[in-house]
Structure 1
Amino acid sequence: MSAAQQSVLTREVAMQAAEWFVRLNAGGASAADHDALAAWRAQAPAHELAWQRAQQVSRQAAAVPAVLARPTLARPQRRRQLRTLALLIAAPGAGWLGWQTLPAASRASAAYTTATGEWRPWTLADGSRMVLDTASAADAHFGPDLRRLQLHAGALLVETARDPRQPPRPFVVDVDAGRVRALGTRFTVRLHDERCQVAVLDGAVDIAPRDGAATRRLHAGEQAVFDRRAVQPAHAAPPAAALWARGVLAVDDMRLDEFLAELSRYRPGMIRCEPAVAGLRLSGAFMLNDTDAVLDNLARLLPVRVLERTRYWITVAPRGAR
């Protein structure tokens, strides 16, 4: 296949890749589904190219479109969304501004962004420090009355500085679910679909859900999840809540499937955990700049085998599995 041919995909192949993408990422995919995908990819070079384009879409969008994953979604609406996804697969680099079901336009135009597997610090205009986690996007709007960050995707760590202006301007982080106001503090904000998790490392923050529920204050050492309607009860934040900003994934007695889900945020492709080993637990500190080494170490820490189907498809199975 020539370079020109490689850059062009038919609508049919792009739609097939879109359907495979949603099927494999929406939850509940079986081993037979993964085998069928592998067979489809091997049928033609265009199939493999389409799948790699789908993975690129996944990395840019930072998540499987939730609207596609809903089993109750009306068929015509789901079909329209699949066609949009197929368009993005068929035309790399095009279409992001037209994807209205995700905040992709905001991500595409955000002033601060990170790629999958990247985390990066910035010093903001007022001297505050911000670190963006993997596959994240944010904007900063510092006006005469307010210091405002808008988090579009992923997660961030903020250490606020004393405002050089008088009177001091409030410092807030806005997300779709509401607003987090800093009270001289260091804290993290992470998006989870329609919810947001906040962990306070120093100082305090006020959380105000968008739809008018009561504001909740969090103090150092606390974390809570909120959505547009309410803030859930606070509980203790793990001591390692912000170690990702130093390139470390630290876990304490975490389930293997949860660990792999977290690790997968820092590498392209898919990591699948077989149910037979999902409940195994592990503790330790793992360097995020070498996720291949982390996966290699799993076989020494736990009775598992790491199977590399392709560079972008990893399965963690019981030891002895093939």
Structure 2
Amino acid sequence: MILDVSTPVELTFSEIEKAKARVQGYASQTPLLNFPVLDERVNGRVFIKAENLQRTGSFKFRGAFNRLSLIPQEQRAAGVVACSSGNHAQGVAAAAKILGFPAVIVMPEDAPALKIQRTKALGAEVVLYDREHEDREEIAKRICKERGATFIHPYNDSGVIVGQGTAGLEIAEQCEVLGVTPDLLISCAGGGGLTGGVALALEEKLPDCKIYTSEPAGFDDYARSLAAGKRVRNAALGGSVCDAVLTETPGDKGFSILSRRHAQGLVVTDEEALNAVAFAYFELKLVVEPGAAVALAAVLSNKIDIEGKTAVIMISGGNVDPAIFERALKQYGDVRTSA
């Protein structure tokens, strides 16, 4: 049996405030950045929440640290188990190292080598699996049963979601300081833990801000689910460069929040995601991985019109595979040369 929630956590704004207190001093308060070159490109005002500058290189550290902090002392020696293609893996591994208990991470064999290496470097034990033929949660269940460990779901865990919601609370606070009232927020979406948590925070602080998810084509389960009013599945389990946001179906917890917020979904191609990676590097001086660039890609490829509006875009991570990064920069260079 997987020990899923050691301490019950409600999906409420007050729990996000508690999570903020827990992660303070461990998670970074990432900047909310504005770039004239991007504003001019879209004829609007765009602010980027740069979670690629977060500890371990992605927003995942927030949710992981908050969730692990909720585990009672008597259960910590048995450790934790998580499933991840890399960012949740590193977040859980780093949080476990700080809090002093063991971590086992079940990772796909085709995960970027850099993410696997960094997860191991943080002290976690890595178990690889074939995402096309093996069920990662079944593997995790077996390990949890053998060791009595606590399972940390990457996105469908309330403790994780409210931890990710601290990014949304920061956005609201930063917008207030800047005197900005955003019309909309676009977030990279896999299972919906980040977008759900941020939407929950903004529901309290910026209730009129419209929420959009962004995903790669072929893995747009959130867009299709929001349109259908029920959770649907992707046909494929792999095959996109946007590895950080490839999930089979939305988590029910995040989906319930985003459905209540009447969120809508945007979809971009892998090529558009790679162009966004290169744009972020050349024009914004930010290093971003493809899955974390899909929200930026939606704006750059005109999947949504933000002319005359103020938008916040989540850049969710910067753990890009060097070969993929090189491909993105070359592709963008070719496009600019031929333009």
Which structure is richer in relative contact order (CA contacts within 8 A, separation 6 or more)? 2
Q: Which structure has greater strand proportion? A: 1
Please give the TM-score of this superposition, normalised by the length of structure 2: 0.28
Between structure 1 and structure 2, the one with the greater Rg is 1
Please give the TM-score of this superposition, normalised by the length of structure 1: 0.29
